[in-house]
Amino acid sequence: MALAAGVLWVLTPSCPALAKTTNDLSILEYSDTSLAVSWNLVAIAPTLLAPNHWQFTLPDSIWLGEDAEGIMPGYSIGVSFPVPGAGNLGPWDNVGSFVTEQDPYSNLIDVQCHDATT
């Protein structure tokens, strides 16, 4: 179970008028084909693309973090960490979004577990 402890973020939406509002994103992998996602405690149905690979759409656009343009154009890594018990050499669990340099915010989120790269 890769994301056994899950991933929980407290995020600020991209709209400046809502900048003082925070949101909770929770992701929990149960198996290679089962992922639970919630946004502000409301369940979101992820789409299974392949074993250990899902995508889902949030109701708000968010910025997940570090820009990875040089590594994977258009993809921003939000978090990447070794699979529990695997050590620092991976495999990795990655959560990211598809962004551009002009707009680092996106509501399409990509989750890849047990990935060979960060």
- pLDDT on residue 80: 73
- Checking if the pLDDT of 117 tops 70, the result is no
- Please indicate whether residue 11 or residue 87 has the higher confidence score (pLDDT): 87
Instruction: Say what the pTM is.
Output: 0.71
Q: Whole-angstrom Cα distance, residue 42 to residue 24?
A: 10
Confidence grade of residue 76 (pLDDT, cut at 50, 70, 90)? low
- pLDDT on residue 113: 84
User: Closest Cα partner for 1 from 80, 110, 83, 90?
Assistant: 83
Contact between residue 55 and residue 64 where contact means Cβ atoms under 8 Å apart: no
- Checking if the pLDDT of 1 tops 80, the result is no
What's the whole-number mean pLDDT along residues 44-61?
93
- Please indicate whether residue 22 or residue 34 has the higher confidence score (pLDDT): 34
What's the whole-number mean pLDDT along residues 43-68?
86
Average confidence score pLDDT of the chain: 73
